[in-house]
Amino acid sequence: MQSSESRPPHPPFTAESAALKVRLAEDAWNSRNPEKVSLGYAEDSKWRNRAEFVTGRSQIVAFLTRKWAKELDYRLIKSVWAFGDDRIAVRYAYEWHDDSGNWFRSYGNENWEFDGDGLMKSRHACINDLPIDESERKFHWPLGRRPDGHPGLTELGL
């Protein structure tokens, strides 16, 4: 039985439902709305993000609030790497700049585990930041959701 906090698609994942789950997560993160993003995670979700450990939605909101105060004009693309019954491995890249106008492209991999309601119960992220010139940016859409016609990571050579 699914709770009132159900977030489809639910496990077990297929290639199609895993791709949809990843796109929905990308869309939420591109909103840069910590409260909205946190609703995709179980109340007691556990994260490892770089060297930081986060547990529960209130810590997720605090983490994302700090993140997006530093990572300005954030734009993200995610892609399925692999999936299983209740797990999805994702690769991603995002571009952002700091308050001094220095641009970065951050590359990463995440391992996700979901509960039966489709809420993420664990997230393990590894991320590397590459300084780039503004002229090297590849993510050129208005802030918010990546347009459907915008190339993904593979098409951009990332």
- Residue % of the chain over a pLDDT of 70: 97
What is the layout of strands, in order, in the sheet containing 52-55? 52-55, 41-49, 120-132, 103-114, 87-97, 72-83
Q: What mean pLDDT, rounded, does the chain reach? A: 96
Q: Assess if residue 74 is contained within a domain.
A: yes
Q: Assess if residue 156 is contained within a domain.
A: no
What is the tally of structural domains in the chain?
Answer: 1
Q: In angstroms, rounded to a whole number, what is the distance separating the alpha carbons of residues 1 and 88?
A: 22
pLDDT number for residue 3 = 56
For residues 95 and 72, is the Cβ–Cβ distance under 8 A? no
Q: Assess if residue 39 is contained within a domain.
A: yes
Domain extent, residue 83, equals: 15-136
> What CATH number should be reported for the domain holding residue 66?
3.10.450.50
Q: Assess if residue 73 is contained within a domain.
A: yes
Q: Assess if residue 49 is contained within a domain.
A: yes
Q: Assess if residue 145 is contained within a domain.
A: no
Q: Please report where in the chains the tokens 């016609």 appear, as a residue.
A: 149
Q: In angstroms, rounded to a whole number, what is the distance separating the alpha carbons of residues 146 and 76?
A: 8
Q: Assess if residue 32 is contained within a domain.
A: yes
pLDDT over 50 at 1, yes or no: no
Q: Assess if residue 151 is contained within a domain.
A: no
Element (H, E) at 133: none
The tens digit of pLDDT for each residue in 39-75 reads: 999 999 999 999 999 999 999 999 999 999 999 999 9
The tens digit of pLDDT for each residue in 130-140 reads: 999 999 999 99
